[in-house]
């Protein structure tokens, strides 16, 4: 799940994809014949990404290792990426490889839009990787995306603010009984000076953060068969009410509207207006220029939690089934997960490499302090549901959640209203993979 703003909703995307004009999302029988170039022919792959420079060195290495394949790279910012990808698929002109939103994998698979990568990935040794993250994306026995990196829940803390306020630093262990929800609230309140727009915590309302707490307490988002919305249950309601109370009653965190007015949670942190910020393994922009010490810490854990829980987001890439060069495109997707590319990405990315050696030998030693917490969190991390209808559930329900943090309605009221809407969407989608329609 990403923070990007989509100009075209998933509901509209569903309508377009179901129409006769959606060439790439129609029957597989309508797809063009796959024309794989012979070894001596030059093949050009169109690769779409949401970061302008992240893959530059990887692409150079791939082209050096595969002289018959060149990469035509296209960058789109998050806000424009989804719309451009939709248009390309609908027009039968999808790129050969593209960044894939993890929560939309089932939607693409259901419509025959992605080529399976199971066979191509079979050359990799699962023991060399954090394989569970990839296995979690499997649908109907196949893997449909390449996963070069992952993100988990963590906090970035302004160590200087903690020390100047005389507040004890959170422990470096994760999970830790000394970093309970109560300890987190106490620290957040002590670090807040709301009159001067300085807060203990920014981003407390982020879905991944609160859902992790609800899951730790025994709740979940939807049922295992992807047919029922569960956020109106007591665990998730408690998690959301407590997070909202930190904003509205205890005054230890900033509300969503004030946070936006101050430039967002990351901007608040680098400006010294938040002592802690919720982050999914990414560093806020501008953090290299700050004049304070900062470190990584784990999210707090409820003392009565059934088990620790963390939020997993994967960075993944798909290969369209309509492509003319599926074999070469699959080779590039797998290359992203191979040793050479992983070593390159480990040196340049803030999020966790999929390859264990790259993560432990290169990425971890580069710091900052507390980075090992992110790897430990993988043992407790779960993604949002991979279900065909879940994207539309997010579009319908997530805007309502802001009302909780603005004090307009309780979590129970919001989720009780959301349940019949979400249940109807999930039932229409036909279960996790759409097979129950």
Contact 356, 389 (CB under 8 A): no
Asked, for residue 383, whether it belongs to a domain, the answer is no
Hey, what are 42's tokens? 């030059």
Same domain, 182 and 119: no
What are the distances in angstroms from CA 417 to CA 160, 183, 238, 395, 401?
Answer: 43, 32, 16, 14, 11
When pLDDT is cut at 50, 70 and 90, the band that residue 41 belongs to is confident
Of residues 211 and 111, more confidence is placed in 211
Residue range 166-174: mean pLDDT, rounded? 97
As a whole-number percent, the residues of the chain with pLDDT over 90 amount to 76
Residue range 277-294: mean pLDDT, rounded? 91
The tens digit of pLDDT for each residue in 413-437 reads 999 999 999 999 999 988 887 665 4
The tens digit of pLDDT for each residue in 91-120 reads 999 999 999 988 888 888 888 999 999 999
Same domain, 320 and 358: yes
When pLDDT is cut at 50, 70 and 90, the band that residue 140 belongs to is confident
Structural domain tally of the chain?
Answer: 2
Quickly count helices (H) and strands (E) in the chain.
Answer: 18, 11
Same domain, 316 and 168: no
Determine the pLDDT at residue 317: 96
Same domain, 420 and 287: yes
pLDDT at 36 over 60: no
Same domain, 282 and 208: yes
Same domain, 223 and 301: yes
What are the distances in angstroms from CA 194 to CA 83, 188, 189?
Answer: 39, 11, 10
Q: What is the CATH number of the domain that holds 31?
A: 3.40.190.10
Determine the pLDDT at residue 434: 66
Same domain, 56 and 99: yes
Same domain, 173 and 295: yes
Q: Which residues of 366-396 are buried (b: 16+ CB within 10 A; e: fewer)?
A: eeeebbebbbbbbebbbbbbbbbbbbbbbbb
Of residues 134 and 179, more confidence is placed in 179
Mean pLDDT of the chain: 89
Same domain, 74 and 61: yes
Asked, for residue 41, whether it belongs to a domain, the answer is yes
**Predicted TM-score of the model (pTM):** 0.86
Asked, for residue 217, whether it belongs to a domain, the answer is yes
- Residue 315 parent element (H or E): strand 310-318
Determine the pLDDT at residue 10: 45
Same domain, 160 and 274: yes
Asked, for residue 4, whether it belongs to a domain, the answer is no
Q: Is 435 exposed, middle or buried (0-12, 13-18, 19+ CB in 10 A)?
A: exposed
Determine the pLDDT at residue 135: 85
Same domain, 357 and 253: no
Residue range 247-264: mean pLDDT, rounded? 96
Determine the pLDDT at residue 102: 86
Domain span at residue 54? 10-152+312-375
Of residues 436 and 301, more confidence is placed in 301
């Amino acid at each position: 799940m990403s923070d990007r703003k989509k100009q075209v909703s998933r509901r509209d995307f569903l309508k377009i994809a179901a129409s006769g004009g959606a060439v790439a999302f129609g029957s597989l029988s309508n797809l063009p014949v796959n024309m794989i170039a012979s070894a001596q022919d030059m093949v050009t792959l169109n690769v779409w990404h949401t970061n302008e420079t992240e893959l530059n060195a990887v692409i150079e290495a791939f082209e050096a290792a595969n002289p018959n394949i060149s990469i035509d790279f296209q960058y789109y910012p998050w806000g424009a990426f989804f719309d451009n990808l939709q248009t390309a698929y609908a027009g039968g002109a999808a790129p050969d490889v593209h960044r894939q939103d993890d929560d939309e994998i089932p939607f693409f698979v259901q419509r025959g839009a992605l080529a399976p990568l199971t066979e191509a990935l079979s050359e990799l040794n699962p023991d060399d990787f954090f394989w569970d993250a990839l296995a979690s994306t499997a649908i109907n026995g196949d893997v449909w995306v390449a996963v070069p990196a992952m993100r988990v829940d963590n906090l970035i803390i302004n160590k200087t603010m903690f020390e100047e306020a005389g507040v004890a630093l959170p422990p470096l262990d994760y999970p830790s009984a000394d970093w309970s929800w109560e300890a987190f609230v106490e620290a957040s309140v002590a670090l807040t000076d709301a009159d001067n727009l300085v807060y203990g915590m920014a981003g407390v309302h982020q879905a991944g953060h609160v859902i992790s707490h609800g899951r730790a307490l025994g709740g979940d988002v939807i049922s295992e068969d992807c047919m029922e919305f569960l956020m109106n249950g007591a665990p998730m309601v408690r998690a959301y009410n407590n997070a909202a109370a930190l904003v509205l009653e205890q005054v230890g965190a900033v509300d969503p509207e004030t946070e936006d007015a101050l430039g967002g949670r990351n901007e608040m942190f680098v400006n010294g207006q938040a002592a802690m910020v919720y982050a999914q393994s990414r560093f806020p922009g501008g953090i290299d220029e700050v004049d304070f010490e900062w470190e990584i810490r784990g999210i707090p854990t409820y003392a009565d939690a059934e088990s620790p829980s963390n939020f997993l987001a994967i960075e993944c890439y798909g290969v369209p089934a309509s492509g003319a060069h599926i074999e070469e495109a699959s080779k590039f997707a797998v290359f992203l997960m191979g040793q050479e590319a992983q070593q390159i990405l480990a040196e340049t990315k803030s999020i966790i490499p999929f390859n264990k050696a790259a993560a432990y030998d290169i990425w971890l030693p580069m710091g900052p302090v507390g980075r090992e917490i992110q790897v430990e969190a993988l043992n407790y991390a779960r993604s949002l549901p991979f279900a065909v209808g879940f994207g539309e559930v997010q579009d319908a329900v997530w805007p309502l959640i802001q009302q909780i943090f603005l004090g307009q309605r309780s979590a129970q009221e919001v989720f009780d209203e959301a349940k019949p809407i979400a249940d109807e969407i999930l039932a229409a989608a036909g279960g996790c993979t759409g097979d129950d329609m």
